[in-house]
Amino acid sequence: MSRNAQNDHLTRLEQTSIHIFREAFANFRSVCMPWSMGKDSNVLIWLARKAFCGKIPFPLLHIDTTYEFPEMYEFREKAKEIHGIDLIVRINEDAIRRGIGYATHDPVTVTHELKTVPLKAAIDEFKWDALVTGIRRDEDPTRAKERWFSPRSAEGVWDYKDQPPEFWGQFASTAPEGGHVRVQPLLEWTELDIWEYIRRENIPNPTLYFARNGKRFRSLGCHPITHPVDSPASNIDEVIEELKLTRVSERAGRAQDHVGRNSMQALRAKGFM
Amino acid sequence: MSQTSKISSVQKSVQPDIEDMRKMHVVVVGHVDHGKSTFVGRLLHETDSLPNGKLEQVRKNCAAEGMEFEYAFLLDALLEEQEQNITIDTTRIFFRTTKRAYAIIDAPGHKEFLKNMVTGAASASAALLLIDANEGVMDQSRRHAFLLSLLGVKQLVVLVNKMDLIKHDQSTYEKIKVEYTAFLKSLGLTAVHFIPIAAKHGENVVQRSDKMSWWKGPTVAEALDNFNHEDDLTGLPLRMPVSDIYRFDHRRIIAGRVEAGAIRPGDELIFQPGGRRSTVRTFEDWPGPSREVAGTGDSANFSLSEQIFVERGQVAAHPNQQPRVGREFRARIFWLGKEPLQPNKTYRLRLLTQNVEAVIAKIEKITDASSLESIEASTVPRDTICEVIVRATRPIAFDLHSECAITGRFALEDKGRINGGGIILDSISEKTSGEGKVTAAERTARAGHSPAVIWFTGLSGSGKSTIAELVERRLFDAGKKVFRVDGDDLRTALNRDLGFSATDRAESVRRASAVAGLFANAGHIALVTLIAPLAADRAKARAALANHAFIEVFVDAPLEVCESRDVKGLYAKARRGEIPEFTGISSPYEAPEAPEVHIRTDKLSTTQAVELVINALDKILQSKAEDWEV
């Protein structure tokens, strides 16, 4: 018997995510999918291709902070080719001219200037009313509260205190005036699910996730503020075995989350993914 | 913060191999102070689901403040940490047994209670309801069960907590069980078990209690593991709401999630409302090979053997097990909107992928969600539950909630915001009798749309009939009342006495407009296909039909294109002089100056042409529907 949503955990997650993609595409005028090139983002591409029978019918967006690992730029070109992606790349040139950077500024400021600001600018430029993101409830406490379809105001603000109800497969499918809706197909996935699915479907990913000299990256961001973890896991099987044993948070190596007690929440309320 | 986090040094496995990888969502409810937090804290501890050092830390904090340690503090500490500043929402807490992973949905008790309970519990497969053995059944014990029944959570275990306070007395336990069983029965609910526990001491939570040897049933953990996901509706009749139709390449693919039943290639499907049938040719999976069956929860994508008109919102079913199709039903609704639910106001009714306008035709009963007492009011305030008659402006496909829950429930949206939901209790058949003369409004209500006249004008061979036939098919399949008034048909009967002189042409346009007017009066969308070459004649027709929605469609193709097509061989005859006063050859055609729709058939595909007409019609009917206060 073949795999289906009833007899297989990963297939169920996959089929649900595909449904979310389709509902977003049917409900919104103009959809875009920001692409970080990280593992969750790459799973999203795969799911979108499944949802739309091979070819993603909307553009992807890479907000280039200019602080990506060199391997990531190589991976970007390769993946673009493999998946036949229509890719838009944006850099906040103005902030870079103003000298915003990790050498001189704190991570929260840099993340805001180099990620959130150009994201907002791109939304204004292209008038997208839906953005597909790869966030998961298990990543971070503030993300645990998220909805499948999560409205953002014109300023990009997330009103987490008054979220729309979501039940029986009915989502908030109208963007607020001037704002957009974040569509989050991976909400119910865990880090372990992501890797097991990558293994099953053989989805291309950067090799930075696998150990070199006893260290690997578990989560990828800007290189000055992204730290590897001690790990001998040098291939997917070993990563999966390792994740089954860990109690350390996935984003522990991402500095901007840990600057202040509520830094992640502050970032997210202002429009960060 | 250390630069390097250690992973490999952690010895204890927190994600052992478990039988069922799917996380089960369980909602925990019960009256305030009946021990929810203590129970959840204890459960987390005993299933070894707490973060490293958390228990020790809370014990130490308690000791430092001179307080006795309680498991409830553990939960509070976890929640505080988890929530940071975000307090007003459903909280999820994760734990696992050897069988599977669970997410506990803790519906906070106070503010916006109903909204959060609905969002949390609607995704739950099962519920645990706590009753304090010492206090017995209280208000909230009852109202929570009522909400569970409304949300369709059927798997319920009642935990009779604080058994230690009543010296583990079986007779008190039995009394509560009898009383509450009767109450549950009145809601159509049955508890799988009533488990006597003392959460504080971990009795019958994960470990069996030796103080209640009379209890032969399962512990809470065992009872949880016996729950089913309860979403495998593969055995029910097929219900697949259409999400979309994809035409990314040469294929035309129907996409939608199977909500109940299963689909296989070769199955005959009927799409409701509309009632068109076709057969599943094959699934179109990327990267392939395509699957052989799509069951409940699967997002299907397939092509059909015969091309028929299908649109988002329709529900695919097998012809021998169809959903109901209708516009009116009785429903029990929970209302979450800041503004009260009002009768005769138009809302968007969303049922799976269907999205139609609907009004609350009548409010029969309003119940306070907290006290369960009836409220006398003409509108439905926030956080209350009511029974109403819902009337949609056009037919929808649905089931009764008792027959198939997933197609028997819906959400109500106001100004783009989901403000309520409901379950369908009964369908109401269309009203068959009224008083006095049948009015246009009644006909419109019966049809589910306003009447209209679409007038296709253009040269012979321009494509008027071809486009009109396709438009008719689209509208007919969408459940609209529609009829084509074709110039050629009129000529063989009604207009038999007319020739092609200017006077006769004017008369033929007048008669066609009169016939179209009759169909529109009868509630139809009339599609007239007539050359009607003279602007003055067409202006008169438009004036005669002024009280109906009117769309002039100029089907425009250059004379040489029409002549080269010459489907009926008329141009050849006209060129030979066999037809006198043939439009375009020996008689003028005055092109419309401002038609509502202008179609260049030499530039557009027929599909695009049909789309233009349908869009224009939708727009004009939409504005009519807004004028027409139900």
Read off the pLDDT of residues B493-515 as tens digits, 9 standing for 90 and up: 899 999 888 899 899 999 999 99
- Please write the tens of the pLDDT for every residue from A147-186: 899 999 888 888 877 788 888 989 998 898 889 999 999 9
How high is the mean pLDDT of chain B?
A: 87
pLDDT band at B431 (very low <50, low <70, confident <90, very high): very low
Q: Output the pTM of the full model.
A: 0.74
Residue A261 forms contact with B (CB below 8 Å): yes
Contact B88 A244 (CB under 8 A): no
Partner-chain residue, chosen from A15, A145, A227, that has the shortest CB–CB distance to B3: A227
How far B273 CA sits from the closest chain A CA (Å)? 19
pLDDT (mean) for B3-15: 36
- pLDDT for position B110: 52
Which residues of chain A make contact with B347, given a CB cutoff of 8 A? none
Interface membership of A252 toward B (CB under 8 Å) = yes
Contact list in B for residue A45 (CB cut-off 8 A) is: none
* Encoded tokens for B142: 């009852």
Average of per-residue pLDDT values in chain A: 90
Q: Is A142 on the interface with B (CB under 8 A)?
A: yes
Annotate A33-51 with DSSP letters as a single string: EE---SHHHHHHHHHHHHH
Return the half-sphere exposure (C-beta side, CA atoms, 13 A cut-off) of residue B109.
Answer: 12
Backbone angles phi, psi at B390, to 5 degrees: -105, 135
User: What is the least distance, in Å, from the CA of A243 to any CA of chain B?
Assistant: 8
Q: In chain A, positions 69-98, which contact chain B (CB-CB < 8 Å)? A: none
Report yes or no: B353 at the A interface, CB cutoff 8 Å: yes
pLDDT score, position A263: 61
pLDDT in tens, B438-471: 878 778 777 778 899 999 999 999 999 999 999 9
Query: Chains A and B: how many Cβ contacts under 8 Å?
Result: 182
> In chain A, pLDDT over 70 holds for what percent of residues?
90
Contact B418 A169 (CB under 8 A): no
Q: What was the pLDDT predicted at B155? A: 92
Alpha-carbon distance A16 to nearest alpha carbon in chain B (angstroms): 7
Give me the amino acid identity at A193.
Answer: D
Distance between A111 CA and the closest CA of chain B, angstroms: 19
Res. B85: pLDDT tops 90: no
Mean pLDDT of B195-202: 96
Residues in chain B with CB shorter than 8 Å from the CB of A265 are: 84-86
Kindly report which listed range (B198-202, B253-257, B626-630) carries the lowest average pLDDT score. B626-630
Flag if B352 and A246 touch (Cβ within 8 Å).
Answer: no
Provide ipTM, 2 decimals. Answer: 0.93
Residues 302-331 (B) with a CB less than 8 A from some CB of A: 312
pLDDT at A141: 65
| pLDDT level of residue B31 (50, 70, 90 thresholds) | confident
Interfacial B residues in 256-275 facing A (CB < 8 Å) = 256-257
Q: Extract the tokens encoding A36.
A: 């970080």
Is the CB of residue B14 less than 8 Å away from at least one CB of chain A? yes
- Identify the residue whose tokens are 């009313």: A129
Smallest Cα distance from A222 to chain B, Å? 15
| Closest chain A C-alpha to B600 CA, distance in angstroms | 27
**Which has the higher per-residue pLDDT, B577 or B343?**
B343
List Cβ neighbours of B440 (8 Å cut-off, separation of 6 or more): B521, B523
3-state DSSP call for residue A225? helix
Nearest Cβ partner for A26 among B118, B244, B299: B244
List of chain B residues whose C-beta atoms are within 8 Å of the C-beta of residue A19: 243, 257, 299
Cα separation, B356 vs B314, in Å, equals 12
Confidence band (pLDDT; 50, 70, 90) for B103?
Answer: confident
Nearest partner of B316 among B250, B370, B269, judged by Cα: B269
Cα–Cα distance, A44 to A180 (Å, whole number): 19
C-alpha dist (Å) from residue A152 to A120, A173, B22, B239, B616: 11, 12, 30, 33, 32
User: B450 and B444 in contact (C-beta within 8 Å)?
Assistant: yes
Do A170 and B411 lie within an 8 Å CB cutoff? yes
Contact between A15 and B8 using a beta-carbon 8 Å cutoff: no
Among B60, B71, B34, B44, which Cα is nearest to B200's?
B71
| Contact between chains at A265 and B253 (C-beta distance less than 8 A) | no
**pLDDT band at residue B625 using 50, 70 and 90 as cut-offs:** low
A31 strand-pairing partners: A130
Contact residues, chain B, for A49 at CB < 8 Å: 286-287
Q: Which residues of B touch A48 (CB under 8 A)?
A: none
Q: For B162-310, where are the E strands, in sequence order?
A: 191-196, 240-241, 244-246, 253-257, 268-272, 276-283, 299-304
Q: What is the average pLDDT across B385-413? A: 93
Residue B117's pLDDT is what? Answer: 75
Give B-chain residues touching A54 at CB under 8 angstroms: 248, 286-287
- Per residue in A230-263, pLDDT (tens digit) is 999 999 999 999 998 876 667 666 766 655 545 6
Say yes or no for a CB contact (<8 Å) between B248 and A26: no
